[in-house]
Amino acid sequence: MAKTTEKLKETVQKELEKMKIHIPESVVDKLVARIGRKKVSIKDLRNVLKEVAEKFAQHMIEPGEAVGIVTAQSIGEPGTQMTMRTFHYAGVAEMNVTLGLPRLIEIVDARKTPSTPMMEIHLLPKFRDDRKKVGKIASEIEITKIIDIAEVETDITNMQVIIKPDLKKIRKKEITMDNIKEKLLEKGYEIESNKSTISIKSEPSYRKLHALATEIKVMKIKGKDGVSRALIKKEPEGYVIYTEGSNFAKVLEIDGVDQTTTTTNNIYEIFEVLGIEAARNAIIDEASKTLQEQGLNVDIRHIMLVADLVTNKGTVESIGRHGVSGKKSSVLARAAFEITVNHLLNAGVVGEDEPLVGVTENIIVGQPISLGTGVVQLVYKPKR
Amino acid sequence: MLLSGCADNPGKPGGQGFKSPQARGSEGFQGERMKIDVTKHKLVPEHVLLSDTESKDVLKKYNVSRDSLPQIPVTDPCARMLGAKPGQIIKIIRRSQTAGSFTAYRMVVEA
């Protein structure tokens, strides 16, 4: 069954190329599904394709349509219906994720770190059902501090900090005394140890001793920076690890992690690790999800436009005056947006020109804009 | 730096698959091996580096200047995998919910 549809699709696309018509793939798919198994001659097919192309052209958005304003209103209007408060995510076990309007604001402001960073870590097919292996990977990721696996005491008489590892906890986390010693040596501490304790000498001052103890207590022994918690959940296709905190780059490198489907809600990390196109897709996904969760149905085209605008310059820019809006070349447009006086003053001092090309500045000045009707300039040609 | 093992997943739908750095041969970046094959991630569309003639054809077809194209920094992981240099054009074949597939172009710029 699939073979004939594939062949048909190929034939259709070949004919389209010969006829020099362009029809998007989704329309071709629909056409192919409609034709099904009926036998169509090439002549008939060509006629059909011509008609399809005509109909498609009638359905396309007209050049000059003020798409930006339509998008802004289409996203803004449902935005007024979203709650300003965030509430607990009833889905993923006890995890607190920013939802609704605050999350949408984070995305549009291109914040480098979201307020509730979260990763969804998938594992390679061969490990997906192995609870033990999944548990091991989870402990590789979740941060373990010295205080979690040992008692840290200050020995005032000898001016030293004593670490007493709890053997049960250590074994559970698959850490050894030697691991702890290595980490301390890496960080440059001078240690003395016996079978059950490690001690570090401090400088002869009560304050320094206390400071040293605090340092040691919060020192990371295991796990990736930034990840405070890792939860394992059983999903239909296998175990999945959800984390509070995100370190996309480091987690992808871990053995056993599926590098193709693991994701994070930190858009900036996606940009750094996977590139600008991936960031664009992530923005679309996150914004869509946020709106859908609130029960709002916004056509994805509007979100795609925003994502395209934000990623146009190759990096993830915010919409506000530090990003897209601030880069406009028109003085009047920037002055009309925020910080009015500064822009006008600087422009005056430097002697900037205002070419009156964009929408905002032409509205201010009272001239027709270059969108919609204004995309065309009419010239009167008198009859001789 | 080791090229860590990639997931044993089938290639991306609809495309011929992306040439891995090893398959590229002499063209492409000089001996840089990245830790992760980013092109295999589900969020990353297919990136293709265009030759000079191909680039000129694209610019002519859309009647635009190089500078008016969307941009992609040299340091972008996908640009690095292609060994792209500033001024070159990358063709990106995206999966689109509305159009099935869509080709976009980005010009490579200094970071």
CA distances for A174 relative to A122, A136, A180, A202, angstroms: 22, 8, 11, 29
Residues 6+ apart with CB under 8 A from A72: none
B45 in the same domain as B31: no
Please give the residue that has the higher pLDDT: either A146 or A248.
A248
Neighbouring CB atoms inside 10 A of A41's CB total 8
**Rounded-to-integer distance, Cα A374 and Cα A378, Å:** 9
pLDDT score, position A144: 86
Domain contains A158: yes
Question: Do A293 and A99 meet the contact criterion of CB atoms below 8 Å apart?
Answer: yes
pLDDT at A91: 56
Q: Is residue A333 part of a domain?
A: yes
Tell me whether residue A159 is in a domain. Answer: yes
State whether A274 and B44 contact (CB < 8 Å): yes
Residue A359: pLDDT band with limits 50, 70, 90: very high
What pLDDT, on the 0 to 100 scale, is given for residue A291? 92
Q: B74 at the A interface (CB within 8 A)?
A: no
Asked if residues A276 and A315 have their Cβ atoms less than 8 Å apart, the reply is yes
pLDDT tens string A278-291: 999 999 999 999 99
Say whether both B95 and B47 belong to one domain. Answer: yes
Closest alpha carbon to A281 in B20, B104, B50, B66: B104
Residue owning tokens 């291109």: A110
Listed residue (A42, A51, A43, A3) closest to A23, CA to CA: A51
With respect to residue A130, please indicate whether it lies within any of the assigned structural domains. Answer: no
**Confidence (pLDDT) at B82:** 92
Supply the pLDDT for residue B65: 94
Q: What's the mean per-residue pLDDT of chain A?
A: 87
Same domain, B83 and B70: yes
Residue of B nearest to A282 (CA): B43
pLDDT level of residue A129 (50, 70, 90 thresholds):
confident
Shared domain check, B28 and B43: no
Does any domain span residue A273?
A: no
Q: Is B64 helix (H, G, I), strand (E, B) or coil?
A: coil
Q: Which residues of chain B have pLDDT under 50?
A: 1-31
Residues B8 and B58 in one domain: no
Question: A195, A222, A249 — which closes off a domain?
Answer: A222
Position A340 pLDDT exceeds 60: yes
Of the two residues A125 and A179, the one the predictor is more confident about is: A125
For residue A216, the domain's CATH number is 3.30.1360
Q: State how far the Cα of A116 lies from the Cα of A98, in Å rounded to an integer.
A: 6
Q: Let me know whether B30 and B40 are in one domain.
A: no
Residue of A59, A260, A313, A315 best to disrupt the B interface, most CBs of B under 10 A: A260
Question: What local confidence, expressed as pLDDT, does residue A338 receive?
Answer: 81
What ipTM was predicted for this assembly? 0.82
Structural domain span for residue A352: 328-375
Is residue A175 in a domain?
yes
Partners of A258 on chain B (C-beta within 8 Å) are: 7, 9
Do B21 and B47 share a domain, yes or no? no
The count of domains in chain B is 2
pLDDT for A216-253, tens place per residue?
Answer: 888 888 888 888 888 888 888 889 999 999 999 999 99
Which of these ranges, A83-87, A156-160, A234-238, has the smallest mean pLDDT? Answer: A83-87
Q: Which residues of A touch B76 (CB under 8 A)?
A: 275-276, 314
Distance CA A79, CA A105 (A): 10
**Which has the higher per-residue pLDDT, B21 or A357?**
A357
What pLDDT sits at residue A175?
Answer: 81
pLDDT at A194: 81
**pLDDT band at A180, cuts 50/70/90?**
confident
Q: By a Cβ cutoff of 8 Å, what residues of chain A touch chain B?
A: 24-29, 124-125, 252-253, 255, 258-261, 263, 270, 272-278, 281-282, 285, 300-301, 304, 308, 311-315
Looking at A58, A80, A103, the residue that finishes a domain is: A58
Quote the pLDDT of residue A150.
84
Length of chain A, in residues: 384
Which of chain A's residues have a Cβ under 8 Å away from the Cβ of B99?
24-26
Total domains, chain A? 3
Does residue A343 lie within any of the structural domains?
yes
In this structure, is residue A65 part of a structural domain?
Answer: no
Task: Say if residue B83 is in the same domain as residue B29.
Answer: no
Q: Is A23 helix (H, G, I), strand (E, B) or coil?
A: coil
Task: Tell me which of A21, A42, A58 is where a domain ends.
Answer: A58
Give the CATH number of the domain where residue A370 resides: 1.10.150.390
Spatial separation of the C-alpha atoms in residues A243 and A232, rounded to whole Å: 9
Return the pLDDT at A1.
45
A148 min Cα distance to partner chain B (Å): 31
pTM above 0.95, yes or no: no
**Cβ atoms of A140 and A183 closer than 8 Å:** no
Are B29 and B41 in a shared domain? no
Both B28 and B60 in one domain: the answer is no
Q: Of B42, B73, B99, which has the smallest distance from its Cβ to A261's Cβ?
A: B42
Residues B13 and B58 in one domain: no
Domain identity same for B98 and B59: yes
Strand order in the sheet with A263-264: A229-235, A238-244, A118-122, A263-264
- Report the pLDDT value the prediction gives residue B85, as an integer from 0 to 100: 93
> Which range marks the domain in which residue B7 is found?
1-35
